[in-house]
Amino acid sequence: MKLEAKAFLLVLAVAAFMFLGTYFTMVVPLTDRSLSTPTKDAKPYTELELKGKRIYEREGCMYCHTQQVRNLLEETQRYGMGEEETFKRFGIRALIQAPPSQPGEYVYDQPHLLGTRRVGPDLARVGGKYDNTWHLNHLRDPRSTSPGSLMPAYSWLFDRAGQPTDEAFALVAYLQKLGTNYKWREEGVEQARALQAKRAGAADPAQQQAPPPTQGGAQ
Amino acid sequence: MTDTAVVHEDTSARWFIYTSVTFFLVTILIGVLMATRFVFPNFLGGVAAISSGRIRPIHTNGVLFGWLLAANMGLAYFVVPRLCGRKLWSEKLGLATLGLWVIIILGAVVTLASGDTQAKEYLELDTTLDILVTIAWVMFSVNMFATIATRTKDREQMYVTLWYLMGTLLWTAVLWIVGNLPVYSGVNDANVNWWFGHNAVGLIFTPMGLAMAYYFIPKTTGNPLYSHKLSIIGFWTIAFLYIWNGAHHIIFGPIPTWLQTVAILFSISLLIPVWTAVTNFYGTLRGKWTQGNYIVKFLVAGTTFYLLTCFQGPMHSLRTVNQIVSKTDWIIGHAHMAVFGAFSFFAMAGIYYTLPRILKRPMYSDRLGEWHFWLSFVGFLGFAVSLWIGGFVQGLQWMNYTISFLDTVKAMQPYYVVRLFSALIMITAQLLFAFNVFRTARGGGNPAAAMA
What is the chain A residue with the closest CA to B253?
A70
What is the phi/psi pair of residue B254, to 5°?
-80, 50
Q: Do A17 and B243 touch (CB under 8 A)?
A: yes
Interface with chain B: mutation pick from A22, A75, A158, highest number of B CBs within 10 Å: A22
B11-440: CATH architecture: Up-down Bundle (1.20)
Euclidean distance between CA atoms B286 and B237, whole angstroms: 24
The 10s digit of each residue's pLDDT in B222-274 is 999 999 999 999 999 999 999 999 999 999 999 999 999 999 999 999 999 99
On whether the CB atoms of residues A41 and A181 are closer than 8 A, the answer is: yes
Nearest to A26 by CA among B450, B384, B364, B196: B196
The 10s digit of each residue's pLDDT in B55-67 is 999 999 999 999 9
Q: Which pLDDT does position A205 carry in this prediction?
A: 47
Q: Do A148 and B410 touch (CB under 8 A)?
A: yes
Q: Do B166 and A7 touch (CB under 8 A)?
A: yes
- Give the residue with greater pLDDT, A219 vs B99: B99
On whether the CB atoms of residues B13 and B78 are closer than 8 A, the answer is: yes
Q: Which pLDDT does position A5 carry in this prediction?
A: 67
pLDDT over 70 percentage in chain A: 90
Chain A residue numbers with beta carbons less than 8 Å from the beta carbon of B206 are none
Chain B residue numbers with beta carbons less than 8 Å from the beta carbon of A67 are none
Q: Do A21 and B240 touch (CB under 8 A)?
A: yes
The neighbouring-strand residues paired with B236 are none
Chain A residue numbers with beta carbons less than 8 Å from the beta carbon of B182 are 110
On whether the CB atoms of residues A63 and A115 are closer than 8 A, the answer is: yes
Euclidean distance between CA atoms B274 and B280, whole angstroms: 10
**Which residues are CB-contacts of A109 (< 8 A; sequence separation ≥ 6)?**
B185, B186, B189
Q: Do A60 and B53 touch (CB under 8 A)?
A: yes
**Which residues are CB-contacts of B353 (< 8 A; sequence separation ≥ 6)?**
B216, B219, B220, B295
Angle at B126 (CA atoms; ends B122, B130), nearest 5 degrees = 75
DSSP state of A153: P
Q: Do A15 and B148 touch (CB under 8 A)?
A: no
What is the chain A residue with the closest CA to B189?
A112
User: Is pLDDT of A210 > 60?
Assistant: no
Q: Can you give the residue ranges of every domain in chain B?
A: 11-440
Q: Do A113 and B119 touch (CB under 8 A)?
A: yes
Chain B residue numbers with beta carbons less than 8 Å from the beta carbon of A113 are 119
Task: Please list the pLDDT of chain B residue by residue as tens digits (452 residues).
Answer: 455 578 999 999 999 999 999 999 999 999 999 999 999 999 999 999 999 999 999 999 999 999 999 999 999 999 999 999 999 999 999 999 999 999 999 999 999 999 999 999 999 999 999 999 999 999 999 999 999 999 998 888 899 999 999 999 999 999 999 999 999 999 999 999 999 999 999 999 999 999 999 999 999 999 999 999 999 999 999 999 999 999 999 999 999 999 999 999 999 999 999 999 999 999 999 998 887 799 999 999 999 999 999 999 999 999 999 999 999 999 999 999 999 999 999 999 999 999 999 999 999 999 999 999 999 999 999 999 999 999 999 999 999 999 999 999 999 999 999 999 999 999 999 999 999 999 999 986 555 444 43
Query: Does the complex come out with an ipTM higher than 0.85?
Result: yes
On whether the CB atoms of residues A170 and A52 are closer than 8 A, the answer is: yes
On whether the CB atoms of residues B396 and B325 are closer than 8 A, the answer is: no
Q: Which pLDDT does position B292 carry in this prediction?
A: 78
pTM: 0.93
What is the chain B residue with the closest CA to A110?
B185
Q: Which pLDDT does position B1 carry in this prediction?
A: 46
Euclidean distance between CA atoms B266 and B237, whole angstroms: 11
Residue A88's pLDDT band, with cuts at 50, 70 and 90, is: confident
